[in-house]
Every structure is written in C-alpha cells, then in structure tokens.
Amino acid sequence: MTQENAMDMETTCFQLITAAGSAKSDYLEAINTAKEGDFEGAQKLIDSGDASYREGHTVHSKLVQQEAAGNSVPVGLLLIHVEDQMMAAEVFRAMAVEMIGLYQKIADQAK
C-alpha cells in the first residue's frame, strides 16, 4: 500500500468514526430530550442521528463493495475501531427508540 492510499484509508476511517460518533451523540441527546417530555424534539434528534449514520454507512458500503470486487481493504486497528463504532451506533439507536417509547408511555399514563 502506498503512503497516499494509507492516508486515504485513514481519512475514510475518521469520516466513519465522526459519523458514528455524531449519530451516537444525537441518540443519547434524544433520550434526554424525551425524558424532559419533548417527544417531537427527541424524534428530530433520532432523525438527525439517522442522517449522520447514513453518511457513515454510505462510506462503509463503498469499502465493502471494494472488498467484494476483489480489491482488498487493509484491516488495521483503526478500521476495527470503525466497525466497533458503527455497531455501537446501531445499538444506541435501538436503545434510544425503546427508551423514548417508554418515556412516552409514562407521559401518557400521567395525563
């Protein structure tokens, strides 16, 4: 791998880490927003997190397609970290949606 390709891969990894981190942040903020009773705001944060995640997923898909086409993708600690962050963002989203639903039920019962 040339130094230029290594730099491109590093840049790609940081794009993915940034997208996953932004998504996780929005999902966590959505939980706190729902806890305060602002369910519309919580949904907007889920949507924002989804947009960030999609950005990362688009880049990630290109790496998978590259590998599938027979062009190996170098696997290093940074790419493993990317995979972990992407998976964590998916889990955070699922938990956030569930918790927001629970806060909504509690709010509805309190009326």
Per-residue pLDDT tens over the stretch 33-49 = 999 999 999 999 999 99
69-89 mean pLDDT: 92
Confidence (pLDDT) at 3: 58
Spell out the residues 6+ positions from residue 30 whose beta carbon is closer than 8 angstroms to its own: 41, 42, 43, 45, 46, 49, 96, 100
Tell me the C-alpha distance between 21 and 38, whole Å.
23
pTM of the model: 0.88
pLDDT tens-digit profile of 21-37? 999 999 999 999 999 99
Number of CB atoms found within 10 A of residue 103's CB: 20
| Nearest-10 Cα torsion for 56, 28, 30, 54 | 10
pLDDT tops 70 at residue 6: no
Q: Which of 33, 26, 91, 85 is nearest to 57 (CA)?
A: 85
